[in-house]
Amino acid sequence: MAAPEGTTIVLKGGRVVDADGERTADVVIADGLVVGVGPDLSGERTLDAAGCIVAPGLVDLHSHLRQPGQEEAETIETGARAAALGGYTCILAMPNTIPAVDHAGIVREVLELGRAAPCDVLTAGAITVGRAGEQLAPLGEMAALGVRFFTDDGAGVADARLMRRAMEYAGGLHHAGRGVVLAQHCEDPVLASGGHMHEGEWSSKLGIPGQPAEAEELMVMRDLALARLTGTRVHFQHLSTAGSVAMVAAAKDAGLPVTCEVTTHHFTLTHASCTGYDPVFKVNPPLRTDADVVAVRQALANGSIDCIATDHAPHTQEAKEAAFDAAPPGMLGLETALALTLTELDLPVAEALALLSWRPAEVLGVEASHGGPIVPGRAANLTVVDLEERWIVDPSALASRSRNTPYAGRELAGRVRHTVLHGEPVVIDREAQR
Ligand code: DOR
C-alpha cells in the first residue's frame, strides 16, 4: 500500500551502495524523497533491510511491453509489475507495438497507461513510420512529449541514407535542454534473412538456417561511420558478437559519442542451447558462440559496455509452442536480469549496479530521478536486494503475463526484497503491492 503523505519510512539495517561508494546506513524516505541517510535512523514505518544492499532502482533501456496490440502476451501494467519485482524503477518500452509508437498520439497513449504502473514507464519512439524503414517518423513531435530515445527495434534501419537523415534530424532535437538518442537494432535484413539462429556449428548440426555474426557487425560498422559523419549520439542495442563489442569499444576510444548495451542472455547462454529445438531459446540477435560470450563478459568487466539491458520480450505460450523456425524471437528478462548479473558475472556489486542502474539512467537522461546517488533530497527510487538469497526460476511464479523464460529451473543468487518507487513501497518482502 502506498505510504500516506507525510508518513516516514525507514529502510533499516542495510548496506547502501551507489555511485558514491558503500556504507552501512539506514535510509529514511518521506514524501517521495530520501530525507536521511545514516546510522540509527527511525521512521513511522520500517522495512527490514538487514543483510541486504540498498541500491538505486534499476533502469532498463529495453523492455517490450506489448501494449497496444498484443495484450495477451503482456500489458504495461504486468510488465511494470515484473520490472518492480526485478528491482527496476524505470523502464523504457520499445516501440514495436501494434500499431508502432511512431507519432504523438500513441506516445500519449503509452505514457498515459504507464502513469498507473508500479514502475516509471517511458517509451521509445520509432525512427521510421510503422518501423517500415522507408520514411522518417515525426521525431520532433514525439521529442516534444518527452521521448528521448528512438529506435525501430525488432528491426534495424536498413537504408543507410535514411539512417543518416535520422541522425541529422535527431542531432538537432532537444527536450528540456537535453538531446535525444538515436538507437539501433543492428541487423542487416538481407544477410540475416531466413536465419533463425546464429550461423555456425550448431545451425549446421541442427539443420536450422542461421544468420551470420556479420549481419549484426556490418550495421554496427556502418552506423559507427554514420555517427562519425553526422556527429550524432548513437546507442547500439543488444550487441551480441565479439566483433561488435570490439568495434564499439574502439570507436569510444577514438572519441565518438556512442554507447551500447548487452542483454543478460547474451552473456549467459550460447547457441548450443538450441540443441533441443526449443523456441524458448530463439531470440534476436541470436544466441552466439562461447567465444562471443567470453568477449561480451570481458567487455562488461573492462568498462567498454555501458549497460546491461533485458530485451524483455514476452510471447504467449501458443506462439512459443510453434516449431523453431515459425516461433517469434524473444525471451523474458525483467525478473531475472539482476540475479543473472550477480550470479554469472564476477563483478563487484557496485560495478554490476552501475551497469544496471546509474549508467542506463544517464544514457536515458533520467539521472535526476533514477540511478541515485542515495542522498537527502533525491527521489526515493530504490531497491533492496538480498545478495545471499538463492532461488530457483519458476516460470509459473513470474509476474509477467508470459512464461517464455529460458532460465526455468536455474538456481540464482540475489533477490529483490523491496522496491520503492517515488517513496512508495511497490514491492515488500518479495510481494508486489499493486
Ligand atoms: O528477440 C527479440 N524479440 N528481438 C527483437 O529485436 C524483438 C523482440 C520482440 O519484440 O519480441
Q: How far is the CA of 431 from the centre of ligand 1 (A)?
A: 28
CATH of the domain at 387: 2.30.40.10
For residue 49, the 8-state DSSP code is -
Q: Low-confidence residues of the chain, pLDDT below 70? A: 1-5
The predicted pLDDT at position 175 comes to 82
Cα dihedral value 71, 74, 75, 76, nearest 10: -150
CATH of the domain at 325: 3.20.20.140
Q: Which of 317, 334, 364 is the last residue of a domain?
A: 364
My answer on whether omega of the bond before 285 falls inside 30° of 0, hence cis, is yes
The predicted pLDDT at position 3 comes to 60
Shared-domain flag, residues 124 and 198: yes
Ligand 1 nearest-atom number relative to CA 283: 1
Q: Which of 340, 364, 388 is the last residue of a domain?
A: 364
Q: Judge whether 61 and 260 are in contact, CB under 8 Å.
A: no
Shared-domain flag, residues 40 and 64: no
Ligand 1 nearest-atom number relative to CA 155: 6
Strand partners, 386: 415
Q: How far is the CA of 286 from the centre of ligand 1 (A)?
A: 10
Shared-domain flag, residues 270 and 386: no
Angle CA(349)–CA(412)–CA(93) in degrees, nearest 5?
Answer: 75
Which residue's CA is the nearest one to ligand 1's atom 5?
154
Shared-domain flag, residues 301 and 427: no
Which residue's CA is the nearest one to ligand 1's atom 6?
154
Cα of 388 vs its chain's centroid, Å: 24
Number of Cβ within a 10 Å radius of residue 19: 18
The count of residues in the chain is 434
Q: How far apart are CA 430 and CA 338, in angstroms?
A: 14
Q: How far apart are CA 276 and CA 279, in angstroms?
A: 9
> Can you give the residue range of the structural domain that contains 47?
9-53+377-432
Indicate the top mutation candidate among 284, 288, 331 to test ligand 1's pocket, ranked by most ligand atoms within 8 A of CB. Answer: 284
Shared-domain flag, residues 38 and 69: no
Q: How far apart are CA 191 and CA 181, in angstroms?
A: 26
Cα dihedral value 14, 17, 23, 25, nearest 10: -40
Q: Is residue 304 part of a domain?
A: yes
Shared-domain flag, residues 229 and 115: yes
Mind telling me the catalytic residues? 311
Q: How far is the CA of 389 from the centre of ligand 1 (A)?
A: 30
Shared-domain flag, residues 261 and 393: no
Q: How far is the CA of 299 from the centre of ligand 1 (A)?
A: 23
Q: Is residue 372 part of a domain?
A: no
Q: Is residue 2 part of a domain?
A: no
Which residue's CA is the nearest one to ligand 1's atom 2?
330
Shared-domain flag, residues 17 and 149: no
In sign, the C-alpha dihedral spanning 226, 139, 136, 215 is positive
Which residue's CA is the nearest one to ligand 1's atom 3?
330
Q: How far apart are CA 295 and CA 202, in angstroms?
A: 19
Task: Give the pocket of ligand 1 (CB within 6 Å).
Answer: 64, 96, 153-154, 185, 283-284, 313, 328-330
Which residue's CA is the nearest one to ligand 1's atom 7?
154
Q: Is residue 256 part of a domain?
A: yes
Shared-domain flag, residues 211 and 323: yes
Q: Is residue 193 part of a domain?
A: yes
Q: Which of 364, 391, 412 is the last residue of a domain?
A: 364
User: For residue 99, what are the CA distances in angstroms to 23, 77, 152, 431?
Assistant: 47, 18, 13, 33
Ligand 1 nearest-atom number relative to CA 64: 10
Tally of structural domains, the chain? 2
Q: Is residue 284 part of a domain?
A: yes
Number of Cβ within a 10 Å radius of residue 160: 13
The predicted pLDDT at position 290 comes to 98
Q: Judge whether 309 and 183 are in contact, CB under 8 Å.
A: no
My answer on whether omega of the bond before 373 falls inside 30° of 0, hence cis, is yes
The predicted pLDDT at position 111 comes to 98
Shared-domain flag, residues 165 and 253: yes
The predicted pLDDT at position 6 comes to 74
Number of Cβ within a 10 Å radius of residue 398: 23
Q: Is residue 4 part of a domain?
A: no
Shared-domain flag, residues 19 and 150: no
Shared-domain flag, residues 358 and 387: no
Q: How far is the CA of 204 from the centre of ligand 1 (A)?
A: 23
Q: Is residue 133 part of a domain?
A: yes
Q: How far apart are CA 222 and CA 225, in angstroms?
A: 5
